[in-house]
A and B are shown apart, each in its own frame.
Chain A
Amino acid sequence: MRIIKSVIPFACMLLLAACSSRPTAVPTAFAELSDSATIFPDYSDVTIPPNIAPLNIRVSDEGATEFVVEIGDVVAGATADGKTDIDSTAWRQLLEQNRGKDIAVHVYAHRPAGWVRFSPYTLHVAEEPIDGFLAYRLIEPGYELYRQLGLYQRNLTNFDEAVIYENNRTFTDKDNHCINCHNFQNYSTDHMLFHVRASHGGTVIVNGSEAHKIAIKHDSIIAAGVYPSWHPTLPLVAFSTNKTGQVFHMYHEEKIEVLDVKSDLLLYDVERNSVSHIIRSGNYLETFPCWAPDGKRLYFCRALLPFDENVENLEGVTAMHYDSLFYDIYSMSFDPDTRTFGELRLEVDASSQGHSTSVPRISPDGRYLLYTQGDYGQFHIWHNSADLWVKALSPLPEESTAKAVSSAEPAPALEGEGGGEALYPLTEANSAKAESYHSWSSNGRWIAFASRRIDAAYSRVFIAYFDKHGHAHKAFLLPQRDPDYNTVLLKSYNVPELTKDAVQISTGKLNHIVYDTEAELASYEE
């Protein structure tokens, strides 16, 4: 009997899936409700790009057997599971016709007593499109081990997801490798890179549809290159080089601390295959380099170790001080002709406020520094306190962006804890959970970032409109054909990076480069 009882729901689900059909017309008779519909993802009152894929939703209403979602003049029906599958062509036309306008969304549910209509919500369609592609890594949300993981590229105008590179699908010591830290030059896929760790290790440098593998290794370098930033115009990459470890909480709201015990900054010359130090410090930890859009300034995070770097058991001592590591954001000018760096300049003094920053990213117009701020440390994707913050940058005379900045609207009023500077959280885009690893769109109007706001465990990509006044709008979840996709996906999205075009190199070629070629050792220059 128990067997039969267990099988029946499964069989019913299959039968339902096979037999039911979605309603196709808006009900003519219905009762009006003042409540809002319960929808997932929460797309109510969000600002969306005019070229985004359909925002399918799942409507939940106990007892309802059918649903209709009326988005402008587009109608999407749903069966009892409440999941819509919006017609892509009609959706595209709808958004095109409503650029810069609002679209009302009405949700209807067919309850036993008849149809009801919930209070509507609005989709604000922005004038400015988002870049067409988003690259990310998919990996389980933990910890030290890895198995099947890959770099993927999503076409944001539809639901196509292409594989950039996937690691070995089955476990063998010989081939087991991790991949991480993909990065593109100036929103283009003409030049990109990613790292391969463990077997077949190295950094894969992609030049259009060709690639090669290099290794950064030298006695004076802490480890291989880690967090990268392509110079926007020159064949240069700024890397951090980090000695990193993870420790696992026993009884804490957070689960993991990812800690650097040493880190420096490197400059890698792609054409010459040479590497040199940008900063080589002792008691300081530098990480997360990021070039300004004009390539004349390098931003990065920096923390002072709260103890001597030569202390015995550095890893253990660092772990004990995990909540005393505060990173500030600094910058240094860069002369592209001489390839030399200027003096350090403190950009965001978070440590004095008992906070810590990570992942500085400069808007394409050079006006805003977007970063993550949390209570401590730098691997903020594991910190609930982590939020997106912005610093409105003062235009600098030597920067080429000065013109663009001078013609722009004034920076926001002073807020937050900036101590006289224009530092403020992107409250509309933030949540109570971790936000981190953000990237700008090439037109500066959109930011894509990873957030654990749905369940505090699996990071998902959210997209937020960043308006001309320097404020973000409510963020929305990367749309999927199946609104439950994110519910069943047991992997996290890492490092979402927007690009204007699709990756050109084939997966097969990258496989060949990773598996069949030796990494060329970069020469070290003092």
Chain B
Amino acid sequence: MKQIPFNNRHSRVLAYALLFALAWAWASWWMGDLFRIAYENSFLAADSTIMHFLWQKPFGSLWIAGRALLLLYRWPLLGGFVVALLLVAATWLIGYCLRLRPRWRWLSLLPVSAWMVWTAWPGLNLYFESEPGRTLGILFLGVDVCAVDAFIIWTFKSKSSHYQHHDLASATVGTWVAAAVTLVVCFAVPVAITHFRHPYARPLTRMQVQMLDDDWNGMIQTAHDNASLSYRPLAAYYAIALVHTGRLADDMFDIRLDFDSLYIKNYSGEPDIGSNYYIIDCDYAAGLFRAAEHKAIERLTMDGPSLATLKHLTRLALLDHNWALARKYLSIIGRAPFEGTFVERYSAMLDNPERVAADPEFALLRQTEPVTDSFESFYEAPVFLGYNCVLLAGRTATALQHSLMSNLYSKRMPAFLERCQPLVGTTPQKSIAEGLVTQASKNPAIMQAFPQLKMTAQMYSGFLGNVSAELKDRPRYARQLFDSYKGYYPYYYFFGNLKATRKSSTQEHASSNVGVN
């Protein structure tokens, strides 16, 4: 076999540099948003009272170490950099400790690859309803164990058992090929797991990161870029972005709303539809602040404090003008490093109702705050839809729009039509107009009330003519027709969200208690 000089220092450096570059790309670019959101779902402060909930858990100190590493993901490039360093260090240390001959050195990549696979496998459960510091804590432990092991070996080594760099000269083409293949597989497998098993994970966390930056248009763009993916959390964050940009009635049906299964598990390890993932954000965006607080406190109860929960609770306390409570949460958030910007922004609102009222986000969300009291349990779940579907009185026209869109989405057409009464004499927004014409054949009064929708009605007739064959087997053609009709409500009306209308189509939906939502 031809030998390739591998004992060359540059070659070794090059090999580790390549490994580092790939690891950095994986840990920051590919997984960066996931870890960034894991950071938001984590909390770490140098305060024994706050951290007691974690410290007293089995392996609590390890999870704290993991959360400490996760802090670096406040900036994913930095977090990824450190994780990549740890992965390279682990590879080198494993090779050193196992005294692997050069031809088998590629084996030292396997534990690292196994960790990456283990990290990618749970998808959103990397942090959702599970310990966010777990994966990085295990990595930290692994590197520590290897380092200690290596130190012991290095301390007590005999000259003859010295780590055999010089033997690297015996590396063959086969060795290089094995190393290269291992390297590719090492990264390809976790990348593939994220891409194929959890295709929603990266776009979803991208949207969440964009939401942290108030980049609503960015969120919409991300959703449009992934419009063929159809998962509840994606749709939820897309709707939130549309609420913030006032485009709900125009763009809501631009993405697929059929809701494929998520690979997500609850606290018990059972499959879950993952509504808890987005429900606080949705309740908050719907102006249902009490409901959002209810869910945020439940999250606090189940997970312990996290930045995401504490930030929600802070905003909700400010909206409630409960300054003492907001001050408490800000005080806790302020104990975490890197959260100065948030604390500064919202501390300025303490004891200052005018500033709260002037905040654009708060002002927007207040438009859809309820005007009368009732109880959550009086509405179908999730309440941000259930409440809006039966809304009778709203604070602003935006509240009416949300109610109309909730009914369109839920295909509750009688309720939709009832609520269209105030729109008579106006030009309804796109989806509302399209919703109206779908009912015109059943209710001729609609066209009398909205004569300006003649063109919309003609388009609808054309649509019905085009899809007359496909209407006979809607589930079969739904996906196929999406690209042609995305954003068009009649398409959604006939072909969208079909799974939820089927009788117990899957165990998941049978237990979801959500109906068409």
Contact = CB atoms under 8 A, between A and B. Distances in A.
Interface of A: 3, 5-7, 9-10, 14, 140-148, 169-173, 247-252, 255, 257, 316, 319, 454-458, 482, 484-485, 487-490
A171 B303 CA distance: 10
B148 interface: no
A257 B290 CA distance: 13
A455 B328 CA distance: 8
Interface of B: 46-47, 49-50, 53, 56-58, 74-75, 78, 267-268, 288, 290-291, 293-294, 297-298, 300-302, 304-305, 317, 322, 324-325, 327-328, 331-332, 335, 337-341, 369-378, 383, 387
Contacts of B50: 488, 490
A457 B290 contact: no
A488 B49 contact: yes
A380 B46 CA distance: 35
Contact of B337 (A7, A143, A455, A458): A7
Q: Which residue, B49, B57, B302, has most C-beta atoms of chain A within 10 A? A: B49
Contacts of A140: 297, 300-301
Given A143-B297, A170-B58, A489-B49, A250 B338 contact: no
17 contacts: A6-B337, A142-B300, A147-B302, A147-B304, A148-B304, A248-B375, A251-B372, A251-B373, A252-B290, A252-B373, A316-B377, A455-B324, A457-B322, A458-B328, A487-B331, A489-B49, A490-B304
A73 B372 CA distance: 57
Contacts of A141: 297
B371 A456 contact: no
Contacts of A173: 268
A143 B373 contact: no
Contact of B338 (A7, A169, A319, A457): A7
Contacts of A454: 324
Contacts of A5: 340
A146 B301 CA distance: 6
In the A-B complex, list the 10 residue pairs whose CB atoms are closest, starting with the nearest: A142-B297, A251-B370, A455-B324, A140-B301, A247-B375, A455-B325, A10-B337, A248-B376, A6-B338, A252-B373
Given A142-B301, A248-B376, A170 B57 contact: yes
Q: Which residue, A141, A170, A257, A490, has most C-beta atoms of chain B within 10 A? A: A490
Contacts of B332: 487-488, 490
Contact of A250 (B291, B304, B327): B291
Interface of B is mostly: helix
A488 B376 CA distance: 29
A82 to B, nearest CB: 13
Interface of A is mostly: loop
Contacts of B288: 250
Contacts of A489: 49
B290 A171 contact: no
Nearest to B297: A142
A248 B317 CA distance: 17
Contacts of A3: 74-75, 78, 338
B334 to A, nearest CB: 9
A250 B267 contact: no
A115 B309 CA distance: 41
Contacts of B372: 251
Given A5-B340, A248-B294, A169 B373 contact: no
A10 B327 CA distance: 19
Contacts of A255: 290, 293-294
A489 B331 CA distance: 11
Contact of B298 (A142, A249, A456): A142
A101 B244 CA distance: 62
Contacts of A457: 317, 322, 325
A454 B50 CA distance: 18
Contact of B49 (A144, A145, A171, A485): A485
Contacts of A144: 298
Given A6-B340, A251-B373, 20 more contacts: A3-B74, A3-B338, A6-B338, A6-B341, A10-B337, A140-B300, A143-B294, A143-B301, A146-B301, A248-B377, A249-B375, A250-B373, A250-B383, A251-B374, A252-B373, A456-B325, A458-B328, A485-B49, A488-B49, A488-B335
B324 to A, nearest CB: 4
B377 A319 contact: yes
Contact of B290 (A14, A250, A456): A250
Contact of A488 (B47, B74, B374): B47
A484 B49 CA distance: 10
Contacts of A456: 322, 324-325
B358 to A, nearest CB: 22
A242 B208 CA distance: 43
A445 B341 CA distance: 49
A9 B340 contact: yes
Contact of B376 (A10, A172, A250, A482): A250
A476 to B, nearest CB: 17
A14 B268 contact: no
Contacts of A143: 294, 297-298, 301
Contacts of A147: 301-302, 304
